[in-house]
Chains A and B, each alone.
Chain A
């Protein structure tokens, strides 16, 4: 029984940064903006979170720093794509490039230092209940934030007026503009939210997952988060499901190896990517479902005419 709980905990840790970054990107894409810079914002969050945590000795300050740095970094993207109407794909890619480079330069002095880890939740009585105690009441704080974010974003997008407005902007920025909605302002806020989430996801890497700083420690997780958003056809709960499925495949292949199943490890390592492709195909085959959810103006620059 213990092993099942442990595996579930491991999957949760692997899935949490993916979930958070993907939820942020989901809001961005729902507003009609495609930010391919998730990997860059994430790694900036990781270095910022580690740095602030290490220098102040408080992982909580690190956590806040990660969020702030992620948001600030995404501001660059927002100014470029929203105020200057540049191509979103190219701008996102250069954001990633810049993030990987800058984080490496900023982090030089943090290499080889043990970081501060955010403590796991520990509620006397509850956390020690067999099986469910650890799963429900004994995880790291960012895990709870990720679940809360999923709930909050679902509620925001589908239950509030502002959420409805945001989605309408994503579907047609021209009609939204015609209705007098401040398209650019909404998108700025969405991009900043996405950046904050990516930063938080990066903070999870350097403050919980592996409390240390090394170059390129995000190791492609930002890209997977991007895939998850499409995988989930822009639905928060499906992002959550996707992140956990992905985490399960990821952890599962390690367990399969440790168990001694003789499959080429390269094949096992490529499974998550192949699985993403397959699922992408499966969901996009269903035209109605995709059409309903895909933000129609995704990736198109918008310049309000006056």
Chain B
């Protein structure tokens, strides 16, 4: 131990000098994640996007990230640290980072900021989001075709617009095939608790659901489906390895292309704050290969995917709210503002939305 210590001491001076000298001309791109990158879900997918960008842009950039940053005071420090450490473009990946990022962006006008899923922009702050609901419409159609009982089990985390939007879109998709389709909904109050998600899946199957949908991150629910020889959909990443016979498809987040394009813009000096909501057509929302289903269902799913990529919005009227009051007239398309603040169910959902 003593030897080690001495060896360490002799190298001190050299290292403290060398540490800061390298990589001055590379563009530094940085990320702030809300969860651990080991969640194999939301934060994991963002980090995959970072790795893709690093791979695509090679030695023109260097990247850094902070994981597990809680929303609140820690977030502000995280952004400030990255800005001070020479990051030129910073991606904040969680809604809860919004106010922290707005504050820090004002303080560092020369740094480019991007915030996922928020709605506040600034001179050097852009926002980006993905239309996951587009994919959920396809899931709904597949579920209605594949379900024998006509009931899906839906495991959800928290009643935020993003999640409510997803449930509605899924149901609209399902109802387009089977008007009497039902979904049983269980809120687990967590993005990530594999045990609880597995228990929820079992409870839903026990109550007659034969297809499981989730808006939580772990693979647990699909593994239960695999065990019970039933079906389900993956979330965030392709989970086929976990459920080779159960996964119908998986709704995956692909941030890589977007990150590459934005960092490239920063390299070219053409970056401007933007407000984008990417969907299937941009490649940000992807459906993993369709498996474990007959060819006609697969063809239908692919057709719907194509239709949405062509610009059709699943929230196209006529749509009524849960209590029967009309919401969208025939042919009317929901505007993005309503979707982003969605706090009501569409007709045909049995659950009561937690308020």
Q: Is B296 an interface residue (CB 8 A)?
A: no
Determine, out of A144-152, A226-234, A250-258, the stretch whose residues face the partner at the interface. A250-258
- Name the CB-closest residue of A to B190: A219
Contact B36 A104 (CB under 8 A): yes
User: Which residues of chain A are within 8 angstroms of B189 by Cβ–Cβ distance?
Assistant: 265-266, 269
Determine whether B169 belongs to the interface, using a CB cutoff of 8 Å to chain A: no
**Chain B nearest CB: distance from A234 CB in Å?**
26
Known: A111-B44, A258-B186. A211 touches B223 (CB 8 A): yes
- Please, which residues of chain B bring their CB within 8 A of the CB of A217? 194-195
Judge if B220 is at the interface, Cβ distance under 8 Å.
yes
A146 CB, min distance to chain B CBs, angstroms: 16
Cα A10 to Cα B198 in complex, Å, equals 9
B198 touching A262, Cβ below 8 Å: no
How far in angstroms is the closest Cβ of chain A from B268? 34
Instruction: Give every chain A residue within 8 A of B38 (Cβ-Cβ).
Output: 104, 107-108, 111, 214-215
Within 8 A of B (CB), among A45-96: none
Name B220's closest neighbour in chain A (CB-CB): A210
Q: Which A residues between 105 and 121 are near B, CB-CB below 8 angstroms?
A: 107-108, 111-114
Say yes or no: is B22 at the interface (Cβ < 8 Å to chain A): no
Which residues from chain B contact A211 at a C-beta distance below 8 Å?
Answer: 223
Q: Is the CB of A10 within 8 A of B199?
A: yes
User: What's the interface size class on B, roughly?
Assistant: 35 or more
User: In the complex, are the beta carbons of B187 and A209 less than 8 A apart?
Assistant: no
A210 with B202: CB separation less than 8 A: no
Report the separation of the CA atoms of residues A205 and B195 in the bound assembly, to the nearest whole angstrom. 8
**B105: min CB distance to chain A, Å:** 30
Residues of A contacting B237 with CB < 8 Å? 112
- A6 at the B interface (CB under 8 A): yes
Tell me if A112 and B44 are in contact (CB < 8 A): yes
- Please name all residues of chain B whose beta carbon is closer than 8 Å to the beta carbon of A219 when the two chains form the complex: 190, 193-196
- CB-CB under 8 A from B187, the residues of chain A are 257, 265
Are the C-beta atoms of A114 and B241 separated by less than 8 Å? yes
Determine which residue in A6, A111, A113, A254 has the highest number of CB atoms from chain B within 10 A of its CB, and name it. Answer: A254
Contacts of A205 in B (CB 8 A): 195
**Which residue of A is nearest B35, CB measured?**
A215
CB pair B354–A265 under 8 Å, yes or no, is yes
**What is the chain A residue whose CB lies nearest that of B238?**
A112
A10 B195 Cβ-Cβ under 8 A: no
Q: Mark B222-243, 1 if CB is under 8 A from A, else 0.
A: 0100000000000001000110
Sample of 10 A–B contacts (CB below 8 Å) = A6-B206, A14-B199, A111-B40, A112-B237, A210-B195, A214-B194, A251-B202, A258-B204, A264-B354, A266-B189
| Contacts from A to B (Cβ < 8 Å) | 3, 6-7, 10, 13-14, 104, 107-108, 111-114, 205, 209-212, 214-217, 219, 221, 250-251, 254-255, 257-260, 262, 264-266, 269
Closest 5 CB pairs of A and B: A265-B187, A210-B194, A254-B203, A210-B220, A262-B352
